[in-house]
């Protein structure tokens, strides 16, 4: 068994009894990356020297140990790290070395995790396949001819391949959950505002949320415990009590009320994916949970609503990348406007340009009310759908993605089809509710993800439901034959 297949509690027990050192954990991580990353491409920047130094310091330290003591972690490359290059997988930020840490990185350091490097992604988190990286695509460890999902493809692939113990990703419309489903790992999008966004390079500020990708639910609970909490530097951070998430993992779901929205099982859902999810519901039945079909009637408008809102916010957020303050700068511009135009033309990739143009159009005079304002109104209706269902039910269950991982290049020239891959994950993002993806079986040898959505700030119930299913099945133990 790989060191990284062991649960966090098991690794900590070995560290406590000194039959394992942090340096050995970090060496195992770096060795695995060297062996496999040529096939996968999960990392953009490795910090071998910094990781080994941190491991040595932890090995020689005494006193109380942090929640994530000694665990090697990868960080998505849109989360800033002091002195460690942060590119957002974009040519525009190819020379950007931040002078501060994101709040979540500070919290990981406080919990004594070890950062080994920065993970590949779709440029500025815009994409669903990790083929939009300006450097190289990430490949799925289960089948290297297929995508790992996006935009946190590097975060999911690195955990699935056993390169790191856990990783952090960001989720705007499904960018943690969809790649977790494609790569057969656990991906959690917390409630909007539970985890600080300070230091996360903004894509769509009303949707972006940082969360963990792990091999099992218990570890996701521990990582969430470490990174959750109010942050005065983030104006959208929620000042709520943080419960002990690990104590919620009782394995008991007797009487749990599960809603199954019929809109998530319609056209476009692969029959095998649907079958795996229905089998999962039977497993919940056998544990004493009850489920009923419900309707979230405004789901059909979610994809259009999301891409209008997220692109509009991206248009505004990415205006700061102008070649003046940081990032790439066009050489010998004729004037200021030429500097803006050429720096942005040379620095941004095609998908980023597409979304900036869509967002600028939606926000422009004469179209604002017809598109952006209307999308905000529909978002309210989508959230209202969730609120009404949660009056009667504890969680909502659905497929995470409509299909298993598709082949590299298969959809890259068809943006509309690519956008529809997030049809199951986008509604929870628009509503701001927590959602987790866990493995629930295979279809033609590829992982299928089960999505569990919960009430705002009720991550405890979401984790309890996910952990109970995991305890009755072996799907989370399946590993790619990389």
Confidence band, pLDDT 50/70/90 cuts, at residue 413: confident
Active site residue 189: no
Q: In the CATH scheme, what architecture does the domain 3-256+394-477 have?
A: Alpha-Beta Complex (3.90)
pLDDT on residue 20? 95
Q: Out of 151, 196, 310, 315, which one is annotated catalytic?
A: 151
Q: Is the pLDDT of residue 66 over 90?
A: yes
8 Å CB contact between 137 and 148: no
pLDDT on residue 199? 98
Q: Out of 152, 158, 167, 175, which one is annotated catalytic?
A: 175
8 Å CB contact between 468 and 165: no
pLDDT on residue 185? 98
Q: Is the pLDDT of residue 1 over 80?
A: no
Confidence band, pLDDT 50/70/90 cuts, at residue 102: very high
pLDDT on residue 429? 98
Q: For 310-328, what is each residue's pLDDT tens digit? A: 999 999 999 999 999 889 9
Confidence band, pLDDT 50/70/90 cuts, at residue 412: confident
Question: What is the mean pLDDT of the segment spanning 26-34?
Answer: 97
pLDDT on residue 67? 95
Confidence band, pLDDT 50/70/90 cuts, at residue 419: confident
Q: Is the pLDDT of residue 3 over 90?
A: no
Structure tokens at 92: 């525009």
Per domain, the residue ranges of the chain are 3-256+394-477
Q: For 450-461, what is each residue's pLDDT tens digit? A: 999 999 999 999
Active site residue 76: yes
Structure tokens at 148: 């790992």
Q: Out of 23, 29, 76, 133, which one is annotated catalytic?
A: 76
Question: What is the mean pLDDT of the segment spanning 134-142?
Answer: 98
Low-confidence winner among 60-69, 247-256, 464-473 (lowest mean pLDDT): 60-69
Q: Is the pLDDT of residue 141 over 80?
A: yes
Confidence band, pLDDT 50/70/90 cuts, at residue 63: confident
Q: Is the pLDDT of residue 403 over 90?
A: yes
Average pLDDT, rounded, for the chain: 96
Low-confidence winner among 1-15, 249-263, 278-292, 464-478 (lowest mean pLDDT): 1-15
Confidence band, pLDDT 50/70/90 cuts, at residue 176: very high
* Sign of CA pseudo-dihedral 210, 215, 216, 219: negative
Percent residues over pLDDT 90 in the chain: 92
Q: For 355-400, what is each residue's pLDDT tens digit? A: 999 999 999 989 999 999 999 999 999 999 999 999 999 999 999 9
pLDDT on residue 417? 78
Alpha carbons 150 and 120: distance in angstroms, whole number: 10
Percent residues over pLDDT 70 in the chain: 100
Q: Is the pLDDT of residue 416 over 80?
A: no
- Statement: the pTM of the whole predicted model exceeds 0.85: yes
pLDDT on residue 62? 86
Beta bridge mates, 209: 171
Task: List the one residue out of 404, 381, 390, 376 whose CA is nearest residue 452.
Answer: 390
Active site residue 151: yes
Q: Is the pLDDT of residue 127 over 60?
A: yes
Low-confidence winner among 55-59, 236-240, 413-417, 418-422 (lowest mean pLDDT): 413-417
Q: Is the pLDDT of residue 174 over 70?
A: yes
């Amino acid at each position: 068994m790989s060191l990284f297949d062991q649960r966090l509690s098991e690794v900590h027990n070995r560290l406590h009894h000194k039959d394992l050192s942090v340096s050995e954990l970090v060496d195992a991580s770096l060795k695995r990356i060297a062996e496999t990353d040529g096939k996968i491409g999960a990392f953009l920047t490795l910090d071998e020297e910094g990781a080994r130094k941190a491991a040595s310091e932890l090995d020689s330290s005494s006193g109380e140990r942090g929640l994530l003591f000694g665990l090697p972690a990868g960080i998505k490359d849109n989360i800033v790290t002091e002195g460690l290059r942060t590119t957002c997988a974009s040519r525009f930020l190819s020379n950007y070395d931040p002078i501060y840490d994101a709040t979540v990185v500070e919290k990981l350091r406080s919990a004594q995790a070890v950062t080994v490097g920065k993970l590949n992604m779709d440029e500025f988190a815009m994409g669903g396949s990790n083929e939009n990286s300006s450097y190289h695509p990430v490949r799925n460890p289960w089948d290297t001819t297929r995508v790992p999902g996006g935009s946190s493809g590097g975060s999911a692939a690195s955990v699935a391949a056993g390169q790191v113990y856990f990783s952090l990703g960001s989720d705007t419309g499904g960018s943690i959950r969809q790649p977790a489903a494609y790569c057969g790992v656990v991906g959690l999008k917390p409630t909007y505002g539970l985890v600080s966004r300070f230091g996360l390079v903004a894509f769509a500020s009303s949707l972006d949320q940082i969360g963990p990708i792990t091999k099992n639910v218990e570890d996701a609970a521990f990582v969430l415990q470490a990174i959750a909490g109010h942050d005065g530097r983030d104006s959208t951070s929620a000042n709520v009590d943080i419960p002990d998430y690990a104590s919620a993992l009782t394995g008991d779901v007797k009487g749990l009320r599960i809603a199954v929205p019929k809109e998530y099982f319609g056209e476009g859902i692969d029959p095998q994916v649907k079958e795996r999810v229905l089998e999962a519901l039977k497993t919940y039945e056998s544990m004493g949970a009850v489920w009923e079909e419900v309707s979230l009637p405004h789901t059909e408008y979610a994809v259009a609503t999301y891409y209008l809102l997220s692109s509009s916010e991206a248009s505004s957020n990415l205006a700061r990348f102008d070649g003046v303050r940081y990032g790439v700068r066009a050489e010998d511009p004729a004037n200021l406007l030429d500097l803006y135009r050429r720096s942005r033309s040379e620095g941004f990739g095609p998908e980023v340009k597409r979304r900036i143009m869509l967002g600028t159009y939606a926000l422009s005079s004469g179209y604002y009310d017809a598109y952006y304002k209307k999308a905000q109104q529909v978002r309210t209706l989508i959230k209202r759908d969730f609120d009404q269902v949660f009056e009667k039910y504890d969680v909502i269950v659905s497929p995470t993605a409509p299909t298993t991982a598709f082949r590299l290049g298969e959809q890259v020239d068809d943006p509309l089809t690519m956008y529809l891959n997030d049809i199951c994950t986008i509604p929870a993002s628009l509503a701001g509710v927590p959602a987790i993806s866990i493995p629930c079986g295979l279809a033609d040898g590829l992982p299928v993800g089960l999505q569990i959505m919960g009430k705002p700030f009720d991550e405890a119930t979401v984790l309890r439901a996910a952990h109970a299913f995991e305890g009755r099945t072996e799907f989370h133990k399946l590993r790619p034959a990389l």
